[in-house]
Structure 1
């Protein structure tokens, strides 16, 4: 496999590895926990590289199959269900290789939805071996199709030439800070096989109901069954959804001591900034 990190020199303390069709960055450290990071739609492990470089803790950032920048090792479009199976196998393997370390799962946007699906995968059949999960941090998970503006845009795009969709993406900006974030995001999408992005966007839209919060409540309940601590952190755009999300959590028998929902004044992509991640991971230990 071509090393997709060749254009981004890695410090000696980071290793680029492969697990089946997944690739990942790992910083090994003698810490009691392993933080495992899952990226958003069209992103990859390098979005967490700064965190891995600047924290002397054991951390692993995963790139989903087919998401290596530069179209390295091209694959046919991988469906979401297959991603879930591969990531479940990987997390279980990490647990077996590190039996004395707690596992913390961190998912951003589509990566948060992936963690929801992992919990469903592990709780659907008792024979599946769920590793001990000490904590889960969900950053801007979807709650229904109304929160899936970018996924809808990419699912409806021309998978062979997404230029029009990328222009429309940048046009969503309502201020300069958001414009900068969306331009950076659009540039990153151009380094991907858009067929993979299109596939996952389409699959994830089908994963959510058009409206309502009951699915979210049920899915967070599954996460609470496999993790000791669950925290959901939301960007400012989620303000209108917060009450509905909290009520759905309560209806499914959880209280806010079991699952913490917190809203910030930050933008969507600010949730994976190094300083913010540092504070949130300290809060779930």
Structure 2
């Protein structure tokens, strides 16, 4: 089994660790994060893995004026292009699509794109969503960035640093802010604003369940995992999911939001979603 990690600016997916596994896990990071946040999992994964850095979120390109912020529609096109490039390169491998935070939102948005453009569907075998947004109530950080002034970000970054309610949350948030402060915050602001407009107001779940229902209809091999931050929402979400015969799709783990990127937890959750009974489509 090969375990070499490669990265190249010429590749749409940025970071890859090839193995002989018949499964290829494609990883999408959260707001302002990048492929490197998945390195710990990729280093231990049995699966062939590839991780994407979204357009504009490379720290090395933060000062490059050629990279202007683009809208969500363009991001979806670029991500789907990367997925289909991998599909052409590895046509026999089963692809597991994994999204964290707004990366999970991107997977949800891709489901809408595939429904509208079925010939561009890369034939994903399974889907794992880690802390997707449900409505504006879950968008504490991205909501703050949606209205920030990228030219004078310090005040907004300080406010976000006040959000944590525990030492663990503070440590994780501090690491997150350290990472994204090195990047072009205009890209982060535009991306956050687009996601804010994508979701509905606090207390409403209609769009979330419509979108998850669409994904589940396209691919029953799906798992949605929430962190402890969704504790107050989970009973209502689970009850509604059961009424729609999707209760088995949802899970809650007593971890902080950023701890869902833990390598062992990710490996465990990927194994679970791969173990869901195969549908006829697969």
Q: 1:250 to 1:214 in 2, by over 3 A?
A: farther
Q: CA deviation at 1:134?
A: 1.4
Q: Is the 8 A contact 1:139 1:233 kept in 2?
A: yes
Match of 1:225 among 208, 217, 226: 217
Q: Which runs of 5+ in 2 are unaligned?
A: 275-282
User: Does 1:273 pair with 2:262?
Assistant: yes
Q: What's the counterpart of residue 141 of structure 2?
A: 150
Q: Secondary structure, in 3 states, of the residue corresponding to 1:26?
A: strand
User: Using the alignment, how far apart are the partners of 2:95 and 2:51 within structure 1?
Assistant: 13
User: Does 1:107 pair with 2:96?
Assistant: no
How many residue pairs match? The answer is: 270
Query: What is the alpha-carbon root mean square deviation over aligned residues?
Result: 1.9
User: Does 1:215 pair with 2:201?
Assistant: no
User: Using the alignment, how far apart are the partners of 1:95 and 1:248 within structure 2?
Assistant: 35
Q: Secondary structure, in 3 states, of the residue corresponding to 2:221?
A: strand
User: Using the alignment, how far apart are the partners of 1:254 and 1:123 within structure 2?
Assistant: 21
User: Using the alignment, how far apart are the partners of 2:245 and 2:97 within structure 1?
Assistant: 20
Q: CA deviation at 1:59?
A: 0.1
Q: 1:52 to 1:283 in 2, by over 3 A?
A: same
User: Using the alignment, how far apart are the partners of 2:255 and 2:265 within structure 1?
Assistant: 10
User: Using the alignment, how far apart are the partners of 2:132 and 2:187 within structure 1?
Assistant: 20
Q: CA deviation at 1:250?
A: 4.9
Q: How does 1:129-208 map to 2 (within 5 A)?
A: 129-208=120-199
Q: Is the 8 A contact 2:72 2:194 kept in 1?
A: yes
TM-score, with structure 2 as normaliser: 0.90
Match of 1:90 among 82, 91, 95: 82
Q: CA deviation at 1:152?
A: 1.1
Q: CA deviation at 1:193?
A: 0.4
Q: CA deviation at 1:161?
A: 2.1
User: Using the alignment, how far apart are the partners of 2:215 and 2:55 within structure 1?
Assistant: 23
Q: Which runs of 5+ in 1 are unaligned?
A: 1-11
User: Using the alignment, how far apart are the partners of 2:73 and 2:54 within structure 1?
Assistant: 12
Q: 1:23 to 1:58 in 2, by over 3 A?
A: closer
Q: 1:23 to 1:96 in 2, by over 3 A?
A: closer
User: Does 1:61 pair with 2:55?
Assistant: no
Runs of 4+ more than 2 Å apart: 17-20, 54-57, 70-74, 225-228, 243-251, 253-257
Q: CA deviation at 1:174?
A: 1.4
TM-score, with structure 1 as normaliser: 0.89
User: Using the alignment, how far apart are the partners of 2:236 and 2:103 within structure 1?
Assistant: 22
Deviations 1:50-104 (A, max 9, x none): 1112224310010000111133555100111110111112112211221111000
Q: Is the 8 A contact 2:99 2:128 kept in 1?
A: yes
Match of 1:76 among 68, 71, 76: 68
Deviations 1:127-158 (A, max 9, x none): x3212211101000000011101011111111
User: Using the alignment, how far apart are the partners of 1:71 and 1:94 within structure 2?
Assistant: 24
User: Using the alignment, how far apart are the partners of 2:138 and 2:146 within structure 1?
Assistant: 14
